[in-house]
Amino acid sequence: METSAFTQKNSIKILTCNVKDVEDYELLASEVFRISIPVVCFQECPLDSLKREKLTRSFKARGYTGVRFSECRDVIFIRSDAVPIKKEYINFTNTDQRRGVIVYTYHIVSKVKVDTPAGELGDDIHIKICTGQLESGGTGGGIRRSQIRDLNAMLQSEIKNTLIIFAGDTNICSWQTELNSLTPASWLDAWREKGTADNEYTLLFDRMDRVWWYSDNNAFRCTSYELFFPFMGAIRKGIIVEFSFE
């Protein structure tokens, strides 16, 4: 794998966190940098332009680059030598709140040959990193359910040998039992693979923040899952998940 802060030792580590209640962006950026997270996905970034600038400046000072789209309050910060071949914002087909997902697509040259049932796919891999926040408010079942289904159609790739990761805020509450076990079709839930009862909840007794992923081959693995505390005493926690390419 190319030497990069983005992919080291054939792995990628991602943080996702809702930062609505975070006030000290310098402390947040310092902690993220300290624990060496190369990919950072935030939801509900501040509406105030001065606060947004402070958040962005705090991460840029530590080598991160990021893009925020006007249609949303989400952002992806990347600390990497790798350059995305595509950046886009895709709207959900069913939304009353103009919700959608930010998508970064990367082409990585790997030293690892990938074998699939169809044969060896060569040494190039693609990674799609996505973040967003599903519809909020109300009982929420119908629209959120359709947005979960949307993710599959929105993000599935025609390119072979692709890892797709959605790391974001689903707004799914624990009492919404019909939604709690849902993922986009054929996708995996990182917490169900590597999480425990001790790191299930990110907001009181809800698991609103989730990492879902999909790959068209068995070269990719979710290898670790842990909670992230943006500051001492934080009610809302984030998630750190690591993936490897075997």
Per-residue pLDDT of the chain (246 residues; tens, 9 = 90+): 333 445 556 789 999 999 998 989 999 999 999 999 999 999 999 989 899 999 999 999 999 988 776 667 899 999 987 778 888 899 999 888 889 999 999 887 655 555 554 445 455 788 999 999 998 876 557 888 899 988 988 887 666 788 899 999 999 887 777 777 778 888 999 999 999 999 999 988 889 999 999 988 777 899 999 999 877 667 889 999 999 876
SS3 28: helix
Q: What domains sit in the chain, N to C, each tagged with a CATH number?
A: 11-245 (3.60.10.10)
**Angstrom distance (rounded) from CA 28 to CA 13:** 17
CB 167 within 8 A of CB 129: yes
Q: What are the DSSP E strand ranges found in the chain?
A: 11-18, 39-43, 65-68, 75-78, 86-91, 100-109, 115-116, 119-120, 124-132, 162-169, 188-189, 209-215, 220-228, 238-245
**Angstrom distance (rounded) from CA 186 to CA 172:** 19
Structure tokens at 215: 């790959």
Query: What spatial distance separates the first Cα and last Cα of the chain, rounded to whole Å?
Result: 11
